[in-house]
Amino acid sequence: MLSTIPNKVDIEDAYNRIRPYTHKTQILTSTLLNARFGANLYFKCENFQKAGSFKSRGAVNAILSLSETNSSTGVATHSSGNFAQALARAASILNIPSYIVMPENAPKVKVEAVRDYGGKITFCKPTLAAREETIKKVISNTGAFEIHPYDNYDIIAGQGTATLELCQSIQNLDIILCPVGGGGLISGTALAAYFFGNNIKVIACEPKGADDAYRSMKAGSIIPSVNPLTIADGLLTSLGKRNFPIIQEYVDDIVTVSEDAIVEAMRLIYERMKIVIEPSSAVPLAALIEDRVDVRNKNVGIIISGGNVDLAKISF
Amino acid sequence: MLSTIPNKVDIEDAYNRIRPYTHKTQILTSTLLNARFGANLYFKCENFQKAGSFKSRGAVNAILSLSETNSSTGVATHSSGNFAQALARAASILNIPSYIVMPENAPKVKVEAVRDYGGKITFCKPTLAAREETIKKVISNTGAFEIHPYDNYDIIAGQGTATLELCQSIQNLDIILCPVGGGGLISGTALAAYFFGNNIKVIACEPKGADDAYRSMKAGSIIPSVNPLTIADGLLTSLGKRNFPIIQEYVDDIVTVSEDAIVEAMRLIYERMKIVIEPSSAVPLAALIEDRVDVRNKNVGIIISGGNVDLAKISF
């Protein structure tokens, strides 16, 4: 278990650890989108990752990094979405129990996915206070070891492996665009780009309707996310205290995008690339649509974070 | 230009001809779907093909097989959908004009795609009579060479190359499931499975609401499609006279599926495989959902025909 910011070897170790249990995901390109934006875009498709998102990388790394003592009584977390599924699946690899605290209004499809992976769910009211109280109770009852969805160095190292793979496959990247929510993905991405890339500029992309990371970067301290409103439901959370310093040091810029641009980016990716992505994954392309980043003639990696979307709620 | 049923070398020649201008598409698998159906399913993803469907294979082969005399004045076809885009794109490779007759009610997104590829569109009333009259007029005005969307041996040989690739990658296939509309894809698939597979059973899958191929197979002669009603809008056409004898000889069985199963299969593929497909492509998996084919412990190829879908019209 890591107790400091992951270094190059930590991310390589994480990669070797997770390889047997995760996909080396495809990198897709689109002639049409390249032409439209005047750049070479490389989409790293974590929507094809196990359990449908990059979260499997961090979850598997965190689980496999536990000591026997810590893992023996199982693991616990709170998550309404992708991390819940990813941790339940990762725990099943070691055949240890996973206790997942979910808000009672979590989408049915996600609840079912957690159950399918063997997760034991405790529901709570959809408030921060209820969530923290409930997970404390679960841990005190079960002795499970808590794994935070993003404010955790093993998680960060695991999430960085997507960019390690991307840098191995595309060796002349100039820019990487990545969505930012709690900061697990962007912090791992920025570290991996620094260690495995050649002077890559990393740009965090965030919905205007949930722009706490943007405001935190400007303020120089974490500003919590209050009443965020965006279709990008994976990006509602506040930055973690382990994530923020990494973002401050290794992320080059942060840009925000409108809801219209997110929907337009989703439509472009569905229609032109024929892949199913969740709204959060469309945020980086939305930044290109709104001309927030100069990508002309550049080689640009775009992290497609996941594909777990409630199709009934999507309308184009 | 072929004047008889394609043989093994004809399909290999078609493959060499189209390789520089088409994608060797991915073959995806899903642990979850394999577990559900007790089989190893290999999805040949022509939704990732150029212009969004397998039709690019046949169109490129047909265009590149034209004599200089035939190609000099351009090509013409009638199509409301995928073949229109594919032929317009293929013609642009040779830099020759393409004249596309489309029904005036064709989806806007498809009309725009044909225009983007440089196709010259003539609209007609959405009836068979209007279509035939209009294409005659276009040909007489332009001297263009007509290329039928499926009733054409070069088209059939081209469509067979998807299965050639599938057989090269997965060498122990027992069964291939493929949708049937006009018969271009299924006839090419059946020929390629015969030439490049090892005793593969080929099963055509058709919506109950457009079961003219099923009825034709039972009757032993082509029964036209009259007022078909299905979400699978790529499968509305009647069988071609060149396609039918190939289907009779090389297709092992034909099964029909309900609309509910088609929608359920689409949902499964979107949610579990994270790919965008058109409804026609869901018909083979619908056959498994309704238990029309015994696939237990078998290696099963499934042709995903395309991904050109009007997202606004899809509701899950």
Q: What is the ipTM of this complex?
A: 0.93
**How far, in Å, CA of B234 to CA of B279, rounded?**
8
A276–chain B Cβ distance below 8 A for any pair:
yes
User: Do B8-53+153-313 and B56-146 share a fold?
Assistant: yes
- Residue A295: pLDDT above 90? yes
Query: Could you confirm whether B80 is annotated as catalytic?
Result: yes
B307–chain A Cβ distance below 8 A for any pair:
yes
**How far, in Å, CA of A225 to CA of A233, rounded?**
13
Residues A286/A159, Cβ–Cβ less than 8 Å? no
Tokens of B119: 């196709």
A316 falls in which pLDDT band (50, 70, 90)? confident
- Determine the distance in angstroms separating the CA of A50 from the nearest CA of chain B, rounded to an integer: 10
Catalytically active residues of A, by annotation: 55, 80
pLDDT over 90 percentage in chain A = 92
Domain range annotation of chain B: 8-53+153-313, 56-146
Taking an 8 Å cut-off on Cβ atoms, the answer to whether A274 and B109 are in contact is: no
Nearest CA in chain B to A268: B311
Q: Identify the H or E element spanning A250.
A: helix A243-250
Of the residues A274, A304, A314, the best mutation for testing chain B's interface (the one with the most B CB atoms within 10 Å of its CB) is A274
Taking an 8 Å cut-off on Cβ atoms, the answer to whether A275 and B271 are in contact is: no
* pLDDT value, residue A106: 86
Give A-chain residues touching B48 at CB under 8 angstroms.
274
Minimum-distance CB partner of A307 among B48, B109, B274:
B274
Q: Which fold has domain B56-146?
A: Rossmann fold (3.40.50)
Going residue by residue through chain B, which has 316 residues, state the pLDDT in tens, using 9 for 90 and above: 999 999 999 999 999 999 999 999 999 999 999 999 999 999 999 999 999 999 999 999 999 999 999 999 999 999 988 999 999 999 999 999 999 999 998 888 889 989 999 999 999 998 889 999 999 999 999 999 999 999 999 999 999 999 999 999 999 999 999 999 999 999 999 999 999 999 999 999 999 999 999 999 999 999 999 999 999 999 999 999 999 999 999 999 999 999 999 999 999 999 999 999 999 999 999 999 999 999 999 999 999 999 999 888 877 7
Tokens of B225: 């499609």
Residues B248/B227, Cβ–Cβ less than 8 Å? no
Give contacts of B 18-37 with A, CB under 8 A.
Answer: 26
Residues B238/B224, Cβ–Cβ less than 8 Å? yes
CA dihedral B130, B131, B132, B134 (to 10 degrees): 80
- Residue A200: pLDDT above 90? yes
Architecture of the domain made up of B8-53+153-313: 3-Layer(aba) Sandwich (3.40)
* pLDDT value, residue A313: 80
Give B-chain residues touching A277 at CB under 8 angstroms.
274
Of the residues B30, B49, B274, the best mutation for testing chain A's interface (the one with the most A CB atoms within 10 Å of its CB) is B274
A53–chain B Cβ distance below 8 A for any pair:
no
Residues A58/A46, Cβ–Cβ less than 8 Å? no
Taking an 8 Å cut-off on Cβ atoms, the answer to whether A274 and B276 are in contact is: yes
Structure pTM?
0.94
- Residue A314: pLDDT above 90? no
pLDDT, tens digit, 9 for 90 and up, residues A52-71: 999 999 999 999 999 999 99
Tokens of B131: 């279509």
- Residue A256: pLDDT above 90? yes
pLDDT, tens digit, 9 for 90 and up, residues A206-247: 999 999 999 999 999 999 999 999 999 999 999 999 999 999
* pLDDT value, residue A248: 98
Q: Identify the H or E element spanning A43.
A: strand A40-45
* pLDDT value, residue A266: 96
β-pair partners for B205 = B179, B255
pLDDT, tens digit, 9 for 90 and up, residues A89-135: 999 999 999 999 999 988 888 899 899 999 999 999 988 899 999 99
Counting one residue from chain A and one from chain B, the pairs whose CB atoms sit within 8 A come to 38
State whether the Cα torsion A229-A231-A181-A215 is positive or negative.
negative
Q: Where are the alpha helices (DSSP H) in B26-127?
A: 31-37, 55-64, 68-72, 82-94, 108-116
**How far, in Å, CA of A99 to CA of A130, rounded?**
16
* pLDDT value, residue A80: 80
- Residue corresponding to tokens 């939704």: B47
B204, B207, B200, B139: which is closest to B167 by C-alpha? B200
Q: Identify the H or E element spanning B274.
A: none
Taking an 8 Å cut-off on Cβ atoms, the answer to whether A315 and B316 are in contact is: no
